[in-house]
Structure 1
């Protein structure tokens, strides 16, 4: 489960990041090739990082004479407590400490850049008339960043680590991401249509993807995500800090509200659209489970429509001249 959810966070799945950044590409950009390189580079980096992390944890476990799982918990304790202790035991500890924390800073900045960009791009697409004017994007970005800055000042207080763990365990945990991934894969594979996605990718890249992707989009991905989500709920354990501090009941209630804040958006939006649409219940359900007819057509479809229109006009012209 930990390895599976790490893949989601490593690729920034279900966060809108890849979709937002990909929306800036040209239509004929080879997205198929980009996805292959993204997966290869990301997984290779994680594989190499595993040697750096677990070799250090193994060294500390041997030095302390304890099992490796007792050296440190995953999360901030690993990055800011266990690893700095290990660095202090190495030759030239100042050099390795500088390298390590520069890496942490750059990693945080890069993650923050793309995370904010996904929010900004999504909001601008929702309100293009208001925000796509000179200077509006910059003003909105400034307000959003200042709001995040002042809202997260609580994290750097004396009790900030308790708050951080609460957010990290409930609002950003694997169960929320897995829940969203089930509906994302169902929406793309069944509602939008895997076959239609194949046609669009072929039109964009001039090559047809491997059919194993269609199998994944329609069956394997939603099934694996659903099973993983159910398993994560069944195996749920209340949050503890440093394996001994038990949070009060109101903190657990707050944590579940944080988790439900993203999970309930999917059924909440669907129910709201069911109420605002017109027609019978069956008609509204059918409309919501059909792809949007206002989506831009692909180049191939546009060419076919233009060709058919031209052919029809020529036939009408010939008939009129004949008559």
Structure 2
């Protein structure tokens, strides 16, 4: 206080980066799913994987943290404050790894969104600036799943109780996995469900349409064949994929900073901004017009296709969104195509 001594700069008590993160190079086959995982990581997009048991859905999801960039200082502070409120900040040590929360499908609404006597943050807030992984998605209570619709749209979880009204940040990336039907093998060659088409339709109906509309990428993850496991094939490591993801996120961050927009990924961009930064070239514009009309895209679905196409262009290092980016973005909304065909 007297100015006779200069205090040393405080050093944060970081846990350090763990060296035992699962690597994406360990996954055999599933090239389409790995491509979708890279796109989801680059733009912060929500992803739904559907496939039979043992196809590798959970294995792929567990490797997402290894390709995500570390938390920036401001993000680290936000994540640490939420963990401290929930009593999960072990020994006061901070980590720059993005949160990865994977609650069991028996979780209640209070556990997922937050609540209780003291209105503590739930899993959706503990996954702030990170990933919320929901395995066996249709096994969750439908009301619990629908409670995620508001946090996914606004980026915050509002808990209103008789004595409390608390708002926690909840900017998350939702990654979900599910089987195509209750028995798990609908659509697989050589398998026929005993209950017929009802087995798949009733099981998938447990996930509401409004929640699905908030998911940018929906992919089928087929079963891995024995040939994929026996034949040695070189697969990209998490370090190689993570470098492309980090570069794409840097491009997005600098773009939004120059525009004065409080967003760091394309998935967080407001609709008015995404229409400007993802304006396609003339060929892409006509293609998008025809696709939106034939697929009957909702307003939210239209903007999410633009966000996804902008991320694809960023991964390619291009300033303009082209027809090829829009076509790939639309291909990841496969359930819209199936609904239109029906």
Provide TM-score, normalisation by structure 2: 0.22
More helix by share: 1
More strand by share: 2
Provide TM-score, normalisation by structure 1: 0.23
Query: Which of the pair has more CA radius of gyration?
Result: 1
| Greater relative contact order structure (CA < 8 Å, 6+ sep) | 2
